[in-house]
Amino acid sequence: MRFPRISPARSAQRALVYRRAPLVLGVIAAAALLGTAWWLRRSVNEVSDTVTEGLGERFASTSEALWRYLRMAPTPNDLDFLLRDFEDAGLRYVAYVNPDLSVMAAAGLPLPSPDLRFGVRAVGSRIRIVRALPVTRRWDLGLGRTLRRGGPFLLIIEYQPTAAESLRKQASTMAWAASGAALLLLLLAFLYSRSFSLRQALEIKVEKEAHLARLGEAASVLAHELRNPLASLKGHAQLLVEHLDEGSRQRTKAELVVEEAGRIERLTDDLLTFVRSGTLRRVPTEPQDVLRVALRAFDAEAFRVELADDLGLWHLDAERLAGALENLLRNALEVEDAQGVPEVFVGVIDQRLRFAVRDFGAGLGDLEAKGLVDALFEPFHTSKIHGTGLGLAMARRVVEAHGGTVSARSPIGRGAHFEIVLPPNARAILDV
């Protein structure tokens, strides 16, 4: 049975979905949890307001019924009985007041507030209700005549909506607990997504190192097997060139053999350099010395150099790092359609040592638009006719061994910008 082959692009898309799906689902779940909790809190507050209003209406109706029922003025004992009945429900004070605002009868302790306007309003932690009592002529106390002369009798009630307050507190507690749970859910989703990304990066790194190890082993065997016959071929071809007449057709062909043999020899040297292992030999080094060693392979006027001041000493393998920088410089000189002298910058920015090389050629083209710039640093990736595709790969291995990074981008205008960034006093991370 044959299984369909999954392309790298499709595999990358799946990995992106697997990495982002938990985070997206976490955000949706957290938003739903938050929305539900705060909607519930709002609904409970509305219910609490309704309960508070209903409780006040109940107290007022009962007090008015007592006023109608009694055939004499209410006494404090009557109101004490009423207060005890409704104390658990929140009733704290009830009073019947004469038209001249003198208290006829009262029970409980009022809050010290002179506001006796008709209506319902909050006074401190309580709700105060002030109403006009209904007129009754059943008392033989002259109250009807007083009513007509001085105004209405008043009912004053103060109550504390303990049940409603408890509901509000519970709703607020639930809402904040849900908010904390939503934040925790978001954090867990982010950590899962992050751990997935780190695990994927580690798997890619391990797979890449294994691939490079296999490639290096094969290249090392191939290079060693080619060196001896290649040296013999090149030597005999050089001897043949010396014995042929100058300008003859046979000599031209023999010189071509020598040239191609030299190119193959350089390829085998590059292969051996790429696969060779060994720890970095770090010594305190001035960055300008690294640049000077890298520039020795080129003409003095080949580059426009900008060197910052106060670069200090850095723990570097100067020879290996100079070789990496030389590969970037060589690439800058070999670009097609160059419209300016390549530029080199060495400086310290944000406490990091930077070697930057910019050319003025055609730039990175579609590689940057497609997100494939990293492919430039893969072994054997080249667009040159006679290139080996190992220069940038070797440069990256050396830079990463220093704990740094090498990157490429298209600057504003023409060309490409390659940059080596090294952290201060970085230790060697791997052997190269």
351 vs 247, more confident: 351
Per cent of the chain over pLDDT 90 is 7
Does 160 share its domain with 296?
no
Among 150, 167, 184, the domain-final residue is 167
In the predicted structure, residue 148 carries a pLDDT above the cut 50:
no
| Model confidence band, residue 278 (pLDDT cutoffs 50, 70, 90) | low
| Model confidence band, residue 38 (pLDDT cutoffs 50, 70, 90) | confident
| Model confidence band, residue 100 (pLDDT cutoffs 50, 70, 90) | confident
Instruction: Tell me, yes or no, whether 118 lies in a domain.
Output: yes
Tokens 């978001």 sit on residue:
186
DSSP alpha helix (H) spans, 278-390: 287-295, 318-333, 366-369
Tokens 């490409």 sit on residue:
416
In the predicted structure, residue 320 carries a pLDDT above the cut 60:
yes
Cα–Cα distance measured from residue 202 to residue 190, given in angstroms and rounded to the nearest whole number? 18
pLDDT at position 7 is 45
Domain count within the chain: 2
212 and 219 Cβ atoms separated by less than 8 Å: no
pLDDT at position 85 is 86
Does 157 share its domain with 288?
no
| Model confidence band, residue 216 (pLDDT cutoffs 50, 70, 90) | low
116 vs 146, more confident: 116
Does 158 share its domain with 299?
no
Instruction: Tell me, yes or no, whether 71 lies in a domain.
Output: yes
pLDDT at position 151 is 63
In the predicted structure, residue 357 carries a pLDDT above the cut 80:
yes
Does 23 share its domain with 147?
yes
Instruction: Tell me, yes or no, whether 258 lies in a domain.
Output: no
Span 370-415, pLDDT tens digits: 666 777 777 665 665 555 667 788 888 888 888 899 888 887 767 8
Among 112, 136, 141, smallest CA distance to 124 is for: 112
* DSSP result, 174-212: HHHHHHHHHHHHHHHHHHHHHHHHHHHHHHHHHHHHHHH
Instruction: Tell me, yes or no, whether 201 lies in a domain.
Output: no
Instruction: Tell me, yes or no, whether 123 lies in a domain.
Output: yes
Give the mean pLDDT of 346-367.
85
Dihedral Cα 389, 292, 399, 327, nearest 10 deg: -10
| Model confidence band, residue 150 (pLDDT cutoffs 50, 70, 90) | low
2 vs 96, more confident: 96
Does 155 share its domain with 291?
no
Instruction: Tell me, yes or no, whether 406 lies in a domain.
Output: yes
**Beta-ladder partners of 284:** 315
pLDDT at position 344 is 93
Cα–Cα distance measured from residue 261 to residue 370, given in angstroms and rounded to the nearest whole number? 37
pLDDT at position 18 is 64
CATH code of the domain covering residue 323: 3.30.565.10
Q: Name the residue type at position 156.
A: I
300 vs 151, more confident: 300
Neighbours of 310 (CB within 10 A): 6
pLDDT at position 6 is 43
Among 167, 193, 227, the domain-final residue is 167
pLDDT at position 291 is 92
Instruction: Tell me, yes or no, whether 85 lies in a domain.
Output: yes
Burial of 305 (0-12, 13-18, 19+ CB in 10 A): middle
Instruction: Tell me, yes or no, whether 261 lies in a domain.
Output: no
- Ranking 128-142, 175-189, 234-248, 297-311 by mean pLDDT, the lowest is 128-142
Among 136, 167, 198, the domain-final residue is 167
Task: State which residues form the domain around 147.
Answer: 12-167
